[in-house]
């Protein structure tokens, strides 16, 4: 880690390997922190309550986790993109004994999170490396859940957006396993439509959890893509998403087919990173 450069009024600042990180104290939660990298909000954690999920897209990912198996049953999870390990902490709290691997490219960011926001869970392994490269080395059928939440700055890199990448995720999943991804887009949602098309090219069942204003192009935001070779619990996922403070809808298999608008699934040769968010979005 490049060293903590400041601490004042609940803010910790540090130069890390791939940018400038800030941990900003939550005024409403004594041990709550928001992680920003180069001004983009990456994670929020509450060390006293790992089941508290501040970001709407993380809450939706947690709904997916909750519906994967009966309560308290451990899961084998692979989290591509670390941030402050919000979802892994949630899984550890709600499903003790889960075996989880977090993959984060920035080793100095990992050191910052370990030192300032420690997670005392023996089942949580943090690996420093490129998400796709580590996924390619995963044992076949070794995971129940693969989550993609990778950002370089405010954009998802192209090499984790292709059909070939999704084929690696599928190979890592056990029978009944689920792939879930945080997809950031706005406007006509061309990037998101391509990501759904890529998922439909690999998985038998695909759903999307999305707020109405994002779906209809009124704001830039997060869509949660969920895919599996087995049927997904779309109806229950829709009920939970509709009951959230920030309500969302769920597009089922038939609706995701229409959502793609004949978008072509991107392969490695034509894959592109996610679009740059407008200024002011995600804390920028």
User: From CA 214, how far away is CA 217, in angstroms rounded?
Assistant: 5
Degrees to nearest 5, angle at CA 101 with 210 and 94: 65
Give the number of C-alpha atoms closer than 13 A to the C-alpha of residue 52, restricted to the C-beta side. 15
Q: How distant is the alpha carbon of residue 189 from its chain centre?
A: 18
Active site residue 149: yes
Q: What are the tokens at 14?
A: 């540090």
Helices (H) and strands (E) in the chain, counts: 9, 13
Secondary structure of residue 25 in the 3-state scheme: strand
How many angstroms separate the Cα of 48 from the Cα of each of 31, 90, 280?
A: 6, 12, 29
What are the phi and psi torsion angles at 272 (to 5°)? -130, 155
Task: Find out whether 143 and 177 touch, Cβ atoms under 8 Å.
Answer: yes
Q: What are the tokens at 169?
A: 């995720």
User: From CA 187, how far away is CA 185, in angstroms rounded?
Assistant: 7
- Considering only the C-alpha atoms of the chain, give the largest distance between any 2 of them, rounded to a whole number of Å: 51
Q: Give the residue carrying structure tokens 């030192």.
A: 115
Q: Give the residue carrying structure tokens 């004994």.
A: 97
Catalytic residue among 106, 121, 144, 149: 149
How many angstroms separate the Cα of 237 from the Cα of each of 152, 230, 251, 263?
A: 29, 15, 10, 25
Catalytic site positions: 149
């Amino acid at each position: 880690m490049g060293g903590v450069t400041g601490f004042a009024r609940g803010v910790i600042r540090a130069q890390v390997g791939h940018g400038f990180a800030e941990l900003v104290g939550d005024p409403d939660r004594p041990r709550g922190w928001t992680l920003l990298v180069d001004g983009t909000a990456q994670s929020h954690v509450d060390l006293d309550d790992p089941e508290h999920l501040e970001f709407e897209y993380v809450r939706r990912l947690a709904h997916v986790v909750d519906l994967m198996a009966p309560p308290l049953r451990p899961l084998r999870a692979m989290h591509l993109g670390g941030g402050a390990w919000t979802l892994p902490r949630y899984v550890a709290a709600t499903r003790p004994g889960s075996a989880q691997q977090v993959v984060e490219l920035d080793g100095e960011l990992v050191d910052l999170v370990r030192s300032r926001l420690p997670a005392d869970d023996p089942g949580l392994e943090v690996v420093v490396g490129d998400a796709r490269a580590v996924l390619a080395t995963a044992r076949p059928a070794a995971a129940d859940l693969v989550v993609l939440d990778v950002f370089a700055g405010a954009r998802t890199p192209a090499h984790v957006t292709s059909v070939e990448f999704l084929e690696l995720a599928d190979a890592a999943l056990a029978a009944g396993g689920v792939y879930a991804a945080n997809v950031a887009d706005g406007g006509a949602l061309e990037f998101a439509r391509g990501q759904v098309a890529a998922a439909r090219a690999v998985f038998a069942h695909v759903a999307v959890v999305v707020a109405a204003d994002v779906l209809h192009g009124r704001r830039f935001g997060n869509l949660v893509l969920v895919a599996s070779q087995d049927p997904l619990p779309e109806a229950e996922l829709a009920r939970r998403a509709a009951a959230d403070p920030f309500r969302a809808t769920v597009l089922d298999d038939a609706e995701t087919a229409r959502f793609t608008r004949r978008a072509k699934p991107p392969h490695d040769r034509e894959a592109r990173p996610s679009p740059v968010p407008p200024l002011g979005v995600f804390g920028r």
